[in-house]
Amino acid sequence: MMNYDKNNIFARILRGEIPCKKIFENNHVLSFYDVNPKKKIHALVIPKGDYINLDDFNDRATDQEIVALSKAITEVSKILGISANVGKGYRVLTNLAEHGGQEVMHLHFHLFGGEKVGKMVE
């Protein structure tokens, strides 16, 4: 496993060095809009801790951090009006490393919604 790069773009957003369009924040999690939206609604949910991807997170994060991140996804879906209960649903996705096509090496979940998201994998 590679080392966590403290200068990745999401680390810089977390430090406030780069702005973001914030949706939600608590002690463990930050959510903001993707700068290059692939669907009508495209949000990101990230842990505040230094984790490269989902495998790294599940290996090293505390149970509290893991619960907080999972719950934040649903919280953000409600805020955005796309949750399965309040709205019409959405897709949640995380890319891992090379074959997953991960570009930013800080764990993030994509939330796509606001319209039919389409084919699962191209």
Q: Which H helix or E strand runs over 43? A: strand 41-47
Out of 63, 98, 103, 122, name the contact with ligand AMP by CB under 6 A: 103
Q: Half-sphere exposure (CA, 13 Å, Cβ side) for 81?
A: 4
Residue 34 contacts ligand AMP per CB under 6 A: yes
Out of 35, 67, 84, 86, name the contact with ligand AMP by CB under 6 A: 35
Q: Which is nearer to ligand AMP, 64 or 73 (CB)?
A: 73
Q: Half-sphere exposure (CA, 13 Å, Cβ side) for 61?
A: 24
Q: Which is nearer to ligand AMP, 38 or 62 (CB)?
A: 38
Q: Distance between CA 89 and CA 112 in Å, rounded?
A: 9
**CA 98 vs CA 2, 43, 55, 103: distances in Å:** 12, 22, 13, 9
Q: Distance between CA 113 and CA 77 in Å, rounded?
A: 9
Residue 101 contacts ligand AMP per CB under 6 A: yes
Residue 67 contacts ligand AMP per CB under 6 A: no
Q: Which residues are catalytic?
A: 108
Out of 9, 66, 79, 92, name the contact with ligand AMP by CB under 6 A: 9
Binding site for ligand AMP (CB under 6 A): 9, 18, 20, 34-36, 44, 95, 101-104
